[in-house]
Structure 1
Amino acid sequence: MMTNTTIPLVYGLLIGKSAEDYNLFFEKVLEQDNFQPESIMTDFKTGTIKSVTDMLPNILHKGCLFHFSQPVWRQVQSKGLTTKYNEDDFFRLNIKQLISLAFAFH
């Protein structure tokens, strides 16, 4: 038995990003025999979150750390703080601590 392990079983490449688009995707996935996941990991798009809540209400929904940390890094870049991040150990630690908040309420 494996614990704390993620095994990707289904990938969805969708053109749209609305809850309706994700609902259609999850309907097709749920049509498959014996599809009974214990948890699902997705990005943080509003449509995805709404669809998972509606379509899979009893499944543990987890957000992907990569997709959580990317907007933080984009903000560092957009604010012109890339050099500070690279050169200032304390600032870099603060950004990493901010990202680690994703684990605070597990």
Structure 2
Amino acid sequence: CDRKARTYTQLFRELKHHATRLKTTFNPNTITSDFEKALIKAVADEFPQARHAGCYFHFTQALYRNIQKLGLTTAYRDSESTRIVCRKLML
């Protein structure tokens, strides 16, 4: 996957087309995904009425990556107070 907005847009249009052929609609009220900018744009363009929710797993994964990037891995592992603060961000 090239992870470009136009690719996601094309995918959504194909899904809409196939739904029409099945005599139904593909018009979700809510879409849950990761935080990829191209996907967020395509969802907003193709489903402006839909609520776009970020995936909790990907959110916490991104937070932990930032803990690592900031050099806080040892503090996260060894310090209960640091771990508590970081985990509160994950709620």
Q: TM tier, shorter chain? A: 0.7 to 0.9
How many residues are treated as equivalent by the alignment? 86
Larger radius of gyration, structure 1 or 2? 2
Please point out which of 29, 37, 48 is paired with 2:15.
29
Distance, in Å, in 1 between the alignment partners of 2:29 and 2:87 is 29
TM-score normalized by the length of structure 2: 0.83
What displacement does 1:66 show? 1.1
**Greater relative contact order (Cα < 8 A, sep 6+):** 2
Unaligned 5+ segments in structure 1 are 1-14, 101-106
Identify the match of residue 39 of structure 2 among 17, 39, 48: 48
Which of 27, 39, 55 is residue 30 of structure 2 equivalent to? 39
Between structures 1 and 2, the one with greater helix share? 2
Offset at residue 61 of structure 1 (A) = 1.2
Structure 2 unaligned residues grouped into runs of 5+: none
Q: 1:32 and 1:60 mapped to 2: Cα distance?
A: 22
Task: Give the TM-score normalised by structure 1.
Answer: 0.73
RMSD: 1.3
Q: Say whether 1:65 aligns with 2:51.
A: no
Percent identity between matched residues is 34
